[in-house]
Amino acid sequence: MRTIWRLLSYLKPYPGWLALSNLSMLGLVLMSFAIPWLTRYVIDVAIIEGEWHLLLPLALGVVAAGILHGMMFFVRRYSSALIGQLVIFDLRNQLYRHLHELPFSFYDRSRTGELMSRVTQDVETMRRFLAFGLVNLVRSILMSVGVLTFLMFINWRLTMVVLITLPPLLFTIRAFATRVRPMYRRVQEELAGLTSVLQENIAGLRVIRSFAREEYEIEKFEAGHRGYLEQNLGAVRRWAFFFPLMNMITGMGTVLILWYGGREVIAGNMSLGWLVAFNQYLALLLGPLRMLGWLVNLTERASASATRVFELLDTESDIVERPGAIDLPRARGHVEFEDVWFEYAASGDPVLRGVSFEARPGETVAILGATGSGKSTVMNLIPRFYDPHRGRITLDGHDLRDLTIESLRRNIGMVMQETFLFSAPIAENVAYGRPGATSEEIEAAAKAAQIHELIAGLPDGYDTVVGERGVGLSGGQKQRVAIARALLLNPPILILDDSTSSVDAETEHLIQEALERVMKGRTSFIIAQRLSSVRSADQVFVLDRGRIVQRGTHETLIGVPGIYREIHQLQSADSVEISEEIFERARLKAIEGMRNIPGGRI
C-alpha cells in the first residue's frame, strides 16, 4: 500500500490533469444513467400512455446525452492516458539518470536481464495502472455502488433476484484470474524456453554440425515445442470454458429480469419501461464488475513492479563526490597507491592487501599475476570505479576522493578486458569519449590503433554500424577499436587490460604494436598475460593473492627466483619439456586461480 501511495505521489505535478480526469469520470458515470432513463420514459410515457408528442424530444434527448457522454468519455480517457504517460516519461528519465549514477559494485551484483525487465516491463505495468487501472478502479466502484443503489430504488425485490447471479459471476471472475491467467503465464514461459533452445541451436551451430548432432537437437527442440503446444492447448481449453461462461452468467441476469420482472409488471408493481431500462442498468453494473478482476490484478502487479522500481531508485551510490571537490584540468600523470586494501563487498576476502607503488608521469607500469590475483582490481581503483577500504590513491598528489569524478575520468583512457562497442557507426564508437572529434582525428586514432585499414575496407567505411547486417567484428578487431577510442581522448593516463579474449597470433601481434605506439608519453598501466608485452615496461609488479610479491624490470626479475621467472620459463618452453614437478605446481596454481574469479561464480 505504501508503494501505491508513493506511486500516486508522482501524480502531484499534474493537479490540473488529475482534476480534469476525475471530474470527467464523475460526469461520465452520471451520464451513463441518462440513456436507459430516457428509454424507460419513451416506453412508459410516450408509447404506453400515448404522449406521442414526447417521442421526438426524447429521442433528441438520447442523442444529446450520447454527445455529452462521448465528450466526457474523450476527456476522461485522453486525460488519464496523458497523466500516465507524463508520469512514466519522468520516471524513465529519472531511472536512466539513476542507473548511470550507480557504482560498478552495483553492476557486479546485478544481471542485465533483470535490470532490463525493471526498466521496461515494470515501468510499463506502472504506466498501465496509472493510465487505465487507477481511473477505472474508481469508476468501477462508483458505478457499481451507484447503479446498485439506483436499482434498489426502482425495484428492490427484482434487484435482489438479479443479484443471485452475482456470486457465480464473481466466482467465475476469480476462477479466471486464478486458473486461466496463470496458464497463459506458463505458456509464455514455455515459449521463452523454446526460444532459448532455438537461440542456443543457432549459436552452437558449428558444434552441432561438427558433432553430427542434428537429430538430437531436433529431439530437444521437439520436446520443448510439444510442451509449448500442450500448455497452449490446455490454456485455450480453460479459456474457452470460462470466458463464454461469464457471458452466460451475465445473460442469466437478463433472463431473471424477464422472468421475475415480467411478473412484477404483470402484477402492476413495475412499469414495462422500467423493465427494459432495468436490463440496460444491469449491463452498467456487470461491465465494471467483470473488469474488477482485471483491475485488482493490475493493481497488484503495479504494486509489485513499483516496489522493484523504487528499490532500484533507492539504491544509493557509494562513490560520491565530496562537496567542493577539485576540478583537475590536465593531470601530469603521477599516480601513487599508499597501502591500499580492497574487498568486493560480496566476498569477505580482501582482494588487495596493502598494495603500494608509485608511477611517475610517462612511465609504463606492467602488472602480472595469475587469474584472481587482483590485477584488474588495481586498474579499477584508478578511475575510482571503487574506493579502497583502507589506504589511499593519489593523482598528482591529490587523493582521488578529493577530485571531481568527471575530471578524474577525463584524464584516463581505458581499454577494458571485455571490449564493449555500441551499435552505432564505427566513427561514433571511436569518438565515444569526444563526440565533437573531426573525422581526421578519428582516422588518426584508428591508424595508431592499427585498425584504419580494416575499417576503410568495410562497405560503408567509418559509417558501418557495428553489429548490423552481419558486420560483426572479431574480438581482436573490437579491441583495436577500443584502443582507438581511448587514444582519441589523448589522456595523460592510459589503462590497458590486455587479457584479450581469444585472438590469433597475427592479431595479437597487431594489438601489441598498436599498444606500444599508444603508450608513448603517457603514464600507462598494463595488465598482460604474455611476457612479450611487458619487456619494455619501466616497472613490473607481480601480484599474488592481493600483494605485490615482486617488483623491478624484466631484466632484474628474470635474474631472481620467483613467480616472474617461473612464468617466463613456462612460456618460453614447450610443454613437453616441463618437468613433472613444475607441472604439478602449475596445475595447483591454475586451479587456485580459477576458483578466485571475483563475482564469476554462481
Partner 1 sequence: MGHMHLGGALEGELKPFDSRMFFRLMGYLRPYRWWLAGSLASLFVAAVAAQAGPYLLGRAIDEFINPAGPAASLPMDARLGGLDLYALLFAASLIVTWLAEYGETYCMSWAAQNSIFDLRSALFRHLQRLGLKWFDARPAGVIMSRVINDVQTLDELLSSGLTTVFGDLVRLLVIVTIMLGMNVRLALASFITIPPLLLMVFYFRPRILQAHRQVRTRVAEINANLQESISGVRVTKSFVREEENFEEFSLRNQNNYDATVAAEFLMSIFQPGVMLIGALGTAVVLWYGGSIIMRETLDGLARGTLGPGTLAAFLVYVQRFNHPLQNLSSFYTQMQSAMASCEKIFAIMDTDPGVKDAPGSRDLPPIQGRVHFEDVDFAYEGENLVLRNADLRVEPGSRVALVGHTGAGKSTMINLLCRFYDPVRGRVTVDGHDLREVTLQSLRSQLGIVLQDTFLFSGSVRDNIAYGKLDADDGEIRRAALAVNAHAFIEELPAGYDTPVGERGGNLSVGERQLISFARALLRDPGILILDEATSSVDAYTELLIQHALDTLLEGRTSFIIAHRLSTIRNADQIVVLEDGRIVEWGTHSELIRAGGHYAELYRVQFATE
* Nearer CB in complex with partner 1: 412/526: 412
Least distance to partner 1 from the beta carbon of 312, Å?
11
Minimal distance, residue 279 CB to partner 1, in Å: 8
Report helix, strand or coil for 534: coil
Residue whose C-alpha cell is 443471485: 164
Q: How far is the CB of 2 from partner 1 (least distance, A)?
A: 27
The residue (of 49 and 358) whose beta carbon lies closer to partner 1 is 49
Q: Which is nearer to partner 1, 5 or 470 (CB)?
A: 470
The nearer residue to partner 1, 8 or 34, going by C-beta atoms, is: 34
CB of 160 to partner 1, least distance (A): 17
The nearer residue to partner 1, 254 or 338, going by C-beta atoms, is 254
Comparing CA positions, the residue from 291, 273, 59, 36 lying closest to residue 147 is 36
Residue 14 or 221: the one with the smaller Cβ distance to partner 1 is 221
* Cβ proximity to partner 1, 62 vs 338, nearer residue: 62
- Nearest approach in angstroms of CB 1 to partner 1 is 28
Query: What are the angstrom distances between the C-alpha of 191 and each of 194, 195, 217, 218, 578?
Result: 5, 6, 17, 16, 52
Q: Return the number of the residue (356 or 423) whose C-beta is nearest partner 1.
A: 423
Report the residue number, 264 or 343, with the smaller CB distance to partner 1.
264
Report, in Å, the least distance between residue 406 CB and partner 1: 5
Which H or E element spans position 249?
A: helix 214-256
**Residue number with CB closer to partner 1 (74 or 156):** 74
Neighbours of 342 (CB within 10 A): 21
The kind and range of the H/E element at 552 are strand 547-552
Cβ 596 vs Cβ 372: under 8 Å: yes
Q: 566 vs 211, 337, 549, 572, CA distance in Å?
A: 38, 27, 13, 10
Q: Residue 102, SS3? A: coil
Q: How far apart are CA 137 and CA 125, in angstroms?
A: 15
Residue 540 bridge partners (DSSP): 366, 552
HSE-CB at 584 with a 13 A cutoff on CA atoms is 3
Q: What is the DSSP letter of 391?
A: E
Q: What is the pairing mode between strands 523-527 and 539-544?
A: unpaired
Distance CA 339, CA 354 (A): 4
Gap between the Cα atoms of 382 and 495, Å rounded: 9
The 10 Å Cβ neighbour count of residue 109 is: 12
User: Smallest distance, Å, CB 86 to partner 1?
Assistant: 8
Q: State the CB neighbour count (10 A cutoff) for residue 317.
A: 14
Q: Nearest approach, Cβ of 339 to partner 1 (angstroms)?
A: 25
Q: Is the dihedral of CA 111, 115, 120, 122 positive or negative?
A: positive
